Chain A
């Protein structure tokens, strides 16, 4: 009977703790919450990104004492890539005046898009989420620089054209799209279908259900049967290394397998060992640790033991993506401080900061990111910028630059995108008209 009493007490304790109010803290620092996932089925991709994101911001705190003299209060909230926990995280951080959120999950992004405008918290979904949210006239609070999935797919087609000898050579070619059978995976279909019509190539779809991520042999048999000339891989998590391995198994030429930027983890390619040599992935920033900014992170954060990262993994592709993500956040905050003249900026200020963000070549150099990324410019109507992307190529050990920076087909992407944004606003009756004024770029 004792143990029963104990159980009752536990139950009562849990009930009591539930009723306790949740501490909401107010502070002078700038509060930057980071939604991360270091657990769950997608942790493999989530961990390096989470490390990169928090390490860069911590480095700013250590090296510069924050941004503009104001310390950053960085807090990770673990989502496990689960929308349920996403709700929890959002509600948890909402009360603490976050200046920006970055959900790092398409599902959570879709759910938070309408909330951003209501709660006055801008959201950065860096090159993921809803492509249509690039339209700043309809989504004033959502930012998804530097490129959308549609830009990515168009760059892939450009890359194919380059290798095949021109866009006119695409006629009659077969291009396969291997995608996760979920909203994230299906994003590029719309654009690729349009391009297929315009350039006369044939598009073959190979969906992979989330439960079958590691079980792709039937799909690759299909690849053997259909013999596509090129394959675009819109995958995430364990789906990518499996795809790379299976491609090697069916002797698909690796240099004709191109992944979206999220299929560019070092672990994804490493799984294929030597056979993965030549595997390609789109990217909008460099991999490697030889940049001054990464050196600073090593000096101020990693060496001092203030990071969770495995030292050898600093500078990996997805780690650097986290750094890039945080750089955008930091620059937006800095810009907001400049525009408003305030030190402790709010979400509304950062929205303005984001909207008039311009990171030039010179600024990148100041940041220690020369050659790390392409310049970024965001405007009120264009919350994405459709910036240049390059194709990274796996040399068996690390990611190297496999092509020049390429401009996406903005003329094809933008009209589709505006149409999709309008469609979104139409379907969501009562979608608010943009009332936020537009700042000139400073």
Chain B
């Protein structure tokens, strides 16, 4: 009975007793979810357009953030004016070069191969980027240049619900940027020529080719877009701790999000991110202590698994139709 009480009643009593903490937990969950969703977004973009499960998304995020900070530090030391802006532009340039080289050296030779082979190729890509990043920038952690990038700092503290709810401005900024990116991508996909081509490629490679869409060009574009998403993600996660190769680990958290939302759906990535984010924060906060805490590491996967048992293709994934 005691156990049942602790599982089914006590957490809700706590929620009622301290609504400010509940609101705070929900907020943290939403922010965490948005950040997961951003990583997942990078995966989805690439999976949609090229069918590649991009294992390297995590390291692309680290690489982008490192490039940004590394360039900034170098320019600041050499007295270049407005280093942050230039670094940002240059980093975007680097991501473009990266996209072009990935397309040229990895994707093009591997065209029409099974998914798992392409997945493995991105695995190799991860190694290359890890080595390259460490070679150029060293393994020391770096500080994210939040202020220089005009990101707000500090927090908004609200005394409501008999307590304190504190919203970090940078988290708000993250949410705004993520929404803007999703909206931008949606417009891009819906109403531009390239966007339509992209959707065509996602639907059927061969049909797209036959109407004169250049696959190679499309791939460069999606990988470049994913690179920019990775940069945004890297800035946000970097601001939460620091920019180092350890950030790569966090990208694994995008997997349950992805699976929950469906590999091919951008709204799925967002909704999945929010469900996972809120679910794991509430779970850890209210039910974690029953198990001694630290359950966040696997809770997300169980949430995703529970959803999957009802919808095997993810919440927003395309329905899997099987024929003989």
Given contacts A41-B248, A214-B246, contact A221 B139 (CB under 8 A): no
Rounded to whole angstroms, the CA-CA distance of A217 and B288 in the bound complex is: 13
Q: How many of chain A's residues touch chain B, expressed as a range?
A: 35 or more
Pick the contact of B155: A218, A225, A249 (CB < 8 A): A249
A44 near B244 with CB under 8 A, answer yes
Would you list which residues of chain A between 195 and 214 have a CB under 8 Å from chain B? 205-214
Q: Nearest CB to that of A225 among chain B residues?
A: B21
Given contacts A209-B296, A225-B18, A241-B242, contact A218 B237 (CB under 8 A): no
Q: B284 — which chain A residues lie within 8 A by C-beta?
A: 218-219, 222
Q: Nearest CB to that of B170 among chain A residues?
A: A249
Q: A46 — which chain B residues lie within 8 A by C-beta?
A: 139
Q: A225 — which chain B residues lie within 8 A by C-beta?
A: 14, 18, 21, 285
Rounded to whole angstroms, the CA-CA distance of A212 and B240 in the bound complex is: 13
Least CB distance, B236 to chain A, in whole angstroms:
11
Does B294 sit within 8 A of A, measured CB to CB? yes
A271 near B21 with CB under 8 A, answer no
Q: B296 — which chain A residues lie within 8 A by C-beta?
A: 209, 212, 215, 218
Q: Nearest CB to that of B35 among chain A residues?
A: A215
Does B51 sit within 8 A of A, measured CB to CB? no
A214 near B166 with CB under 8 A, answer no
Rounded to whole angstroms, the CA-CA distance of A217 and B244 in the bound complex is: 19
Rounded to whole angstroms, the CA-CA distance of A207 and B320 in the bound complex is: 40
Does A10 sit within 8 A of B, measured CB to CB? no
Given contacts A238-B244, A238-B247, A241-B241, contact A44 B21 (CB under 8 A): no
Least CB distance, B282 to chain A, in whole angstroms:
8
Given contacts A207-B292, A211-B252, A215-B296, contact A221 B25 (CB under 8 A): yes
Pick the contact of A42: B18, B138, B246 (CB < 8 A): B246
Does B140 sit within 8 A of A, measured CB to CB? yes
Rounded to whole angstroms, the CA-CA distance of A82 and B204 in the bound complex is: 43
Q: A219 — which chain B residues lie within 8 A by C-beta?
A: 284, 293
Q: Nearest CB to that of B280 among chain A residues?
A: A218
Does B72 sit within 8 A of A, measured CB to CB? no
Given contacts A212-B297, A218-B288, contact A47 B139 (CB under 8 A): yes
Pick the contact of A241: B25, B141, B294, B297 (CB < 8 A): B141
Count, chain B residues at interface, CB 8 A? 42
Would you list which residues of chain A between 375 and 427 have a CB under 8 Å from chain B? none
Does B134 sit within 8 A of A, measured CB to CB? yes
Does B313 sit within 8 A of A, measured CB to CB? no
| Most chain A CB neighbours (cut-off 10 Å) among B168, B288, B293 | B293
Least CB distance, A390 to chain B, in whole angstroms:
25
Q: B28 — which chain A residues lie within 8 A by C-beta?
A: 217-218, 221
Does B32 sit within 8 A of A, measured CB to CB? yes
Pick the contact of A47: B130, B138, B248 (CB < 8 A): B138
Q: Nearest CB to that of B14 among chain A residues?
A: A225
Rounded to whole angstroms, the CA-CA distance of A41 and B251 in the bound complex is: 13
The secondary-structure label for the interface of chain B is helix
Does A270 sit within 8 A of B, measured CB to CB? yes
A44 near B140 with CB under 8 A, answer yes
Pick the contact of B249: A47, A211, A249, A250 (CB < 8 A): A211
| Most chain B CB neighbours (cut-off 10 Å) among A210, A211, A250 | A211
Pick the contact of B241: A42, A43, A218, A271 (CB < 8 A): A271
Least CB distance, B77 to chain A, in whole angstroms:
11
A39 near B247 with CB under 8 A, answer no
Q: B21 — which chain A residues lie within 8 A by C-beta?
A: 221, 224-225
Given contacts A181-B294, A215-B32, contact A221 B245 (CB under 8 A): no
A208 near B24 with CB under 8 A, answer no
Does A245 sit within 8 A of B, measured CB to CB? yes
Does B48 sit within 8 A of A, measured CB to CB? no
B281 near A217 with CB under 8 A, answer yes
Rounded to whole angstroms, the CA-CA distance of A118 and B143 in the bound complex is: 45
Rounded to whole angstroms, the CA-CA distance of A19 and B237 in the bound complex is: 45
Fill in one digit per residue for B133-153: 1 if any A CB lies within 8 Å of its CB, else 0: 010001111010000000000
Q: A48 — which chain B residues lie within 8 A by C-beta?
A: 140
Would you list which residues of chain B between 7 and 36 have a CB under 8 Å from chain A? 14, 18, 21, 24-25, 28, 31-32
A271 near B237 with CB under 8 A, answer no
Does A145 sit within 8 A of B, measured CB to CB? no
Q: Nearest CB to that of A208 among chain B residues?
A: B294
Does A98 sit within 8 A of B, measured CB to CB? no
A238 near B293 with CB under 8 A, answer no
Does A242 sit within 8 A of B, measured CB to CB? yes
Does A40 sit within 8 A of B, measured CB to CB? yes
Rounded to whole angstroms, the CA-CA distance of A87 and B127 in the bound complex is: 21
Does A38 sit within 8 A of B, measured CB to CB? yes
Does A237 sit within 8 A of B, measured CB to CB? yes
B293 near A213 with CB under 8 A, answer no
B252 near A267 with CB under 8 A, answer no
B139 near A214 with CB under 8 A, answer no
Does B250 sit within 8 A of A, measured CB to CB? yes
Rounded to whole angstroms, the CA-CA distance of A208 and B18 in the bound complex is: 24
Pick the contact of A238: B32, B143, B241 (CB < 8 A): B241
Q: A207 — which chain B residues lie within 8 A by C-beta?
A: 292-294
Q: B288 — which chain A residues lie within 8 A by C-beta?
A: 218, 222
B166 near A249 with CB under 8 A, answer yes
Least CB distance, B283 to chain A, in whole angstroms:
8
Rounded to whole angstroms, the CA-CA distance of A39 and B248 in the bound complex is: 13
Q: Nearest CB to that of A217 among chain B residues?
A: B28
What are 12 A-B contacts defined by CB distance under 8 Å?
Answer: A40-B139, A41-B244, A205-B293, A211-B297, A214-B237, A217-B32, A217-B281, A218-B281, A218-B288, A221-B28, A245-B240, A249-B166
- A-B pairs, top 10 by smallest CB distance, nearest first, are A43-B139, A207-B294, A238-B246, A242-B241, A209-B297, A44-B141, A218-B284, A41-B246, A217-B28, A214-B241
Apart from A44-B246, A211-B250, 4 more pairs, CB < 8 Å? A41-B245, A212-B296, A212-B297, A222-B284
